[in-house]
Amino acid sequence: MNITQLQETLNTIYTEKNKRIIFWYDGEKEFEDTLPEITLDDVRIVRLDEISDLALKMEIECEFPNQKYLLYSPTHEPAPEEDWLLDIRLYSYTFHADKASIILKELNLDNQSILPYLKERNAFFNNKDRFNRLKKWVKPDDREDDIDLKMISVLTRSDQPGLFSILMKLFESCCDNNRFDNSIPSKYWTDIDKLGLAPSFWKFTAQTFGYINEKEPDLNDFLLKIFVTDFSNQIKNDLPQALEHFLIESPSLRMNSTVFLSQWRSNINHYKIYNITSDYIAKKLKIQDLIILFQVKALIEVMTFEAVERRIISSLRDSILSNDSNDYPVMQEAVKTRIDGYWARINLNESGESNQINLYKTVYYALETAIELFYLRDKYDGGFSFASAEEMFKAYAAELFRFDQLYRRFHELSDKAEMAGWDVLKTLRQAVEDCYSGWFMDQISLKWGDFLDGDDGLLNKWKLPYIINQYDFFARKIEPTLKESNRNRLFVIVSDAFRYEAAQELEQIINGKYRMKAQLEPMLGVLPSYTALGMAALLPHKKLSFKEKSGNVLADDQLSNSLDYRSQILSKYEGIAVKSEDLTAMNKEQGRKIIKPYRAVYIYHDRIDAAGDKKASEDLAFAAVRTAIDELSALVNFVINNLNGTNVFITADHGFVYQDKPATPMDKSVLDIPNKEFIKSHKRFVLAHDLEASDNTFRGDTKTAANTETHMKFLIPKGTNRFNFSGGAKFYHGGALLQEIVIPLLTVTQMKGKHLAKSEINNVGVSLVGFRKKIVTNITRFEFIQTDAVSERYKPRTLKISIRDGNELISDEKMLTFDSESTSIDDRKKSISLTLKTGQTFDNKKEYYLVLRNSEDETEYDRLSLMIDIAFASDF
């Protein structure tokens, strides 16, 4: 320390610490020659070896009671019983100029006995930046181990002083270009070793993890052991023999491997490095080969390695393919557990960069959807048995539509996986196809066909009790409201080929929004079920007819096949027709201006038919359905929020059928009729003035099936057959299958006044069951109950659950999703086990907390106080 630093330090003591007298003991006589060069304003410098204690005492206390003194002694600090100036020294400041003493003072450490230790760590303190960062963390009562741990934290630039944080940063420094490379020396480790802190580091790993390497401790060996130990802690099976020698021996400290790796995975700043490190360890240990015979039950809790996720998925897929319905509940629970797990939560691609789609989650949802589909199939394993067309139609609207919905959702999800290069679902995809196309479509078309044919068949009357016909839509739903008051304005959204099952999904989405209520009902569509006829049927009209020698439809003798024509028809009812994309491109003022003169606003949307009805894009039909659902949801928001709409109707011109299996000649019905007799020919129907039925077709009349004034005959193929494959063979409509003619009518209203409270959207509540205030073991199981069933107004809740000391994590952290729709309390119970960090002392009189945080934003849902008394438990 130079003269200037000495003077600055001494002046600081006089001013900031407000001391009048400083005792300076220099037992090593390091500054004896320097003393004459020191100058301090208004301070008298006295050598204690040149004046008697009595004389000095008289001078300080009697002669110059306000004088500042620097009392220097070239000796060590005397023992209290030998110090004649002790009474003065007690109210003064004792200064030590050796570097260790200065550091002791600057770090505000209380214990003088660590001075020799501070001298040993002199190399660390030579760096001002390191010293200043250490200073922020040191506490007055810290001892050698505490300071060593904080020094290592400084060297690794850890987020906080602690071994877990050190390890995360240290392993990060071992990664380069998104790969773990133990051949590259870690800068952090080099600094730790160079400054003599490596022995302390290994001491800490031994104390915390039980890691001991009798030959020579090594980072690579340490990593292998904590990963294998975590794997062993979680697996419900014997550890493979090839890994046994990597298992940490200390039973009491093994759990810290699990707690540490859980916290590493949960750390938003470090989880990418976890993935890279885990992948390195998995390949080194050949984990993929070692777990190949493990069943889902054994691996269900393991989050250590990504390879486990792949093994579980493959095993679940094979279990689903075995078609044992008794195992479906177990499979569903396994899927839910893994969806809440680490690998299905993160969004990273193979290079470690953020990715919008987590393919594990996507595949799990596909598995879940397949299980639901096969569950439903087992329910109707004996086929479909209904007494009447009315009963079957209503059964489709109530439940059978789920076959179409689940089939679509599975394809939506499996397409994403296949586009990413994953083939894991291919065999399941074939099983789903066999279930849907090879069983459901054959069964439902056969049974429904029984109700269509014959003198008493539905084709000869085309009406069902209590079901609105599509051609009555305006007269039954729109016109009465318009007549009721001249202030009423109605919005009708017509989405081409928006079938019933997709509308049911949209209903759920809308009912999950504040201030909105949606109600779905089926209408009986017109036949043939094609765009021109369906669109005309939804418009206001007294009569429908066909333009001579064409399939174009007239509404009250006016063409209806364009937006302008439809506007002209609607104008008689103060109405207008607009395209959805034109309307949503407007701002609020523009939109309101356009609709202001009108009371019936028809909005036309075309997403599904635009893709599905073309050979080049029919494979994108299900993706188009998803887009349509999203767009229609946004369109409803726009109408209600921007255009002050209070009543919105969403419907369609027709539905559709999509089967992913390639069409074969068996799917084609041949007509022995000259084409020149056809007024309109389509994949699923032909129109003509006169047609004779054949064995492979149904025959009908549009006067009955579409309430046209014109008698126009049509033929539709039986079952799922098509007359031709032009424009594609997978996506089709025009016939009389339930998917084609059950037309959705979704009525959306804005809730106001006293009804508004009923539209509030909440997440389900969660409560702890049988909460024990005291934890007496390192692994504790907690049971929770979901207090509300999931519904349109109660959404699932996903919680991160952990044990904390204040906000400090002292256990692993796990995720639970509460998404049960069951009305049974027992079905809504879930439990998890949390592992406490071991090797540390818990104060059995202190409050700790079980903390529940909402996963999406980390807000705290609940905090329950508890006591930890592990030592007490160990006594018995």
Using CA atoms, how far apart are residues 185 and 167, in angstroms rounded to an integer?
Answer: 15
pLDDT tens-digit map of 567-594: 999 999 999 999 999 999 999 999 999 9
For 861, the token pair is 């849902």
| pLDDT for position 350 | 47
For 613, the token pair is 């009805």
CB within 8 A of 82, min separation 6: which ones?
Answer: none
Using CA atoms, how far apart are residues 747 and 520, in angstroms rounded to an integer?
Answer: 6
| pLDDT for position 8 | 84
**Could you give the C-alpha distances from 447 to 451, 526, 732, in angstroms and in order?**
7, 20, 20
In a domain, 829, yes or no: yes
pLDDT band at residue 349 under the 50/70/90 scheme: low
| pLDDT for position 761 | 84
pLDDT band at residue 876 under the 50/70/90 scheme: very low
Find, among 230, 231, 220, the residue nearest to 174 by Cα. Answer: 220
In a domain, 375, yes or no: yes
In a domain, 269, yes or no: no
Q: Is the pLDDT of residue 555 over 80?
A: yes
Report the share of the chain in percent with pLDDT over 90.
73
**What's the average model confidence in pLDDT over 126-133?**
88
Same domain, 513 and 607: yes
pLDDT band at residue 754 under the 50/70/90 scheme: low
Same domain, 651 and 740: yes
Asked if 748 and 515 touch (Cβ cutoff 8 Å), the reply is no
Using CA atoms, how far apart are residues 506 and 496, in angstroms rounded to an integer?
Answer: 15
| pLDDT for position 875 | 38
In a domain, 717, yes or no: no
At residue 707's C-alpha, the angle toward residues 444 and 681, to 5°, is: 65
Domain boundary pick from 418, 452, 486: 452
Residue 175, beta-bridge partner list: 180
Q: Is the pLDDT of residue 846 over 50?
A: yes
pLDDT tens-digit map of 38-61: 889 999 999 999 999 999 999 999
Q: Kindly report the CATH number assigned to the domain that includes residue 819.
A: 2.60.40.2550
Q: What is the mean pLDDT of the chain?
A: 91
Same domain, 749 and 767: no
Q: Is the pLDDT of residue 533 over 80?
A: yes
Q: In this structure, is the dihedral angle defined by the CA atoms of residues 615, 618, 619 and 623, taken in order, positive or negative? A: positive
Which helix (H) or strand (E) segment holds residue 70: the answer is strand 68-73
pLDDT band at residue 353 under the 50/70/90 scheme: low
Find, among 255, 227, 228, 260, the residue nearest to 241 by Cα. Answer: 228
Domain boundary pick from 42, 67, 97: 97
Q: Is the pLDDT of residue 121 over 80?
A: yes
Residue reference for tokens 């009912």: 511
| pLDDT for position 871 | 62
**What's the average model confidence in pLDDT over 230-235?**
96
Same domain, 480 and 549: yes
Same domain, 380 and 425: yes
Using CA atoms, how far apart are residues 376 and 409, in angstroms rounded to an integer?
Answer: 15
**What's the average model confidence in pLDDT over 30-39?**
86
First-to-last C-alpha distance (Å) of the chain: 58
In a domain, 174, yes or no: no
Strand order in the sheet with 713-717: 680-681, 686-688, 713-717, 697-701
Same domain, 506 and 441: no
Q: What is the DSSP letter of 82?
A: G
Find, among 253, 273, 252, the residue nearest to 264 by Cα. Answer: 273
Q: Is the pLDDT of residue 440 over 60?
A: yes
**What's the average model confidence in pLDDT over 855-859?**
90
Report the share of the chain in percent with pLDDT over 70.
97
**According to the 3-state scheme, what is the secondary structure of 420-431?**
CCCCCCHHHHHH
Residue range of the domain that includes 833 = 762-874
Using CA atoms, how far apart are residues 303 and 292, in angstroms rounded to an integer?
Answer: 16
* Structural domains in the chain (count): 4
Q: Kindly report the CATH number assigned to the domain that includes residue 529.
A: 3.40.720
Same domain, 515 and 646: yes
In a domain, 777, yes or no: yes
Please state the separation of Cα 481 from the chain's center in Å. Answer: 43
Asked if 337 and 391 touch (Cβ cutoff 8 Å), the reply is no
Same domain, 803 and 822: yes
**Burial (CB count within 10 angstroms: exposed 0-12, middle 13-18, buried 19+), residue 676:** exposed
Q: In this structure, is the dihedral angle defined by the CA atoms of residues 4, 5, 11 and 16, taken in order, positive or negative? A: positive
CB within 8 A of 450, min separation 6: which ones?
Answer: none
Same domain, 656 and 800: no
Q: What is the chain's percent helix, strand, coil content, to nearest 5?
A: 45, 20, 35
pLDDT band at residue 874 under the 50/70/90 scheme: very low
Residue reference for tokens 């129109």: 687
- What's the pTM? 0.87
Same domain, 422 and 530: no
pLDDT band at residue 872 under the 50/70/90 scheme: very low
Find, among 216, 222, 237, 364, the residue nearest to 301 by Cα. Answer: 237
In a domain, 137, yes or no: no
Same domain, 777 and 642: no
Q: In this structure, is the dihedral angle defined by the CA atoms of residues 100, 102, 103 and 104, taken in order, positive or negative? A: positive
Same domain, 743 and 804: no
Domain boundary pick from 390, 423, 452: 452
At residue 420's C-alpha, the angle toward residues 416 and 423, to 5°, is: 85
In a domain, 229, yes or no: no
Mean pLDDT is highest, among 674-678, 726-730, 858-862, for 858-862
| pLDDT for position 215 | 83
Q: Is the pLDDT of residue 308 over 60?
A: yes
**According to the 3-state scheme, what is the secondary structure of 159-214?**
CCCCHHHHHHHHHHCCEECCEECCCCCCHHHHHHHHCCCHHHHHHHHHHHHCCCCC
**According to the 3-state scheme, what is the secondary structure of 122-173?**
HHHHCCHHHHHHHHCCCCCCCCHHHHHHHHHHHHCCCCCCCHHHHHHHHHHC
Q: Is the pLDDT of residue 3 over 80?
A: no
